[in-house]
Homo-oligomer: A and B are copies of this chain.
């Protein structure tokens, strides 16, 4: 069940090679961009604004990104790829389906709490991509979705049933992604507790229903 390699970024930016020496600077640029996009949306972020926030010239940005959309794509692709890689490793660890589900939930939430801006951009600005980069990003997303669905299927039908998805498991996975992604709209660690706690709550609700959430209070 080893995953195929993810298509390289340069598929979409064949014109420019980013050498290791500038990797660190590139990361800084993307991080700042993520913060600005997360705050007001991709459209609202302007290249000028970004250049000012970075203390560099507007034209200078175009040494790192072929276009504003390329910037968005790089941001999304890298983030998604990192999330998927993490979750695939987590899913490979042995354990009951229930244990693995909890690990996926918590892993997702932890990734969220460490890369809030980046994940927010991935979650809400997918449609801002053009058709080609969209397809590339979509592909990773789909793999992540299948990963979740296969674990959910084992929870529902038992590990003996293999990882065959069913209508139930597919729908449930969509509900679960809704729960997970909606967290951007409300989560505040000071008010709601740690993401690990949230992960346990979700697990209880998913495994035992609403009444089961009383146990984890």
Q: Which residues of A contact B (CB under 8 A)?
A: 40-41, 43-44, 124, 127-128, 152, 155-157, 166-168, 171-172, 174-175, 177-183, 185-186, 192, 198, 201-202, 205-214, 217
Copies held by the complex: 4
Q: Which residue of B lies closest to A204 (CB)?
A: B209
Residue A209 contacts which of B175, B178, B192, B207 (CB distance < 8 angstroms)?
B207
* Cα distance, A209 to B41, chains bound together (Å): 36
A179 to B183, CA, bound (A): 11
A133 to chain B, nearest CB (A): 16
Contact indicator B172/A182 (Cβ below 8 Å): no
Which residues of the partner chain B approach A177 to less than 8 Å between Cβ atoms?
182, 185
Known: A40-B127, A171-B192, A172-B205. 4 other contacts (CB 8 A): A174-B182, A177-B182, A178-B179, A178-B183
Q: In the assembled complex, how far is the CB of residue A161 from the closest CB belonging to chain B, in whole angstroms? A: 11
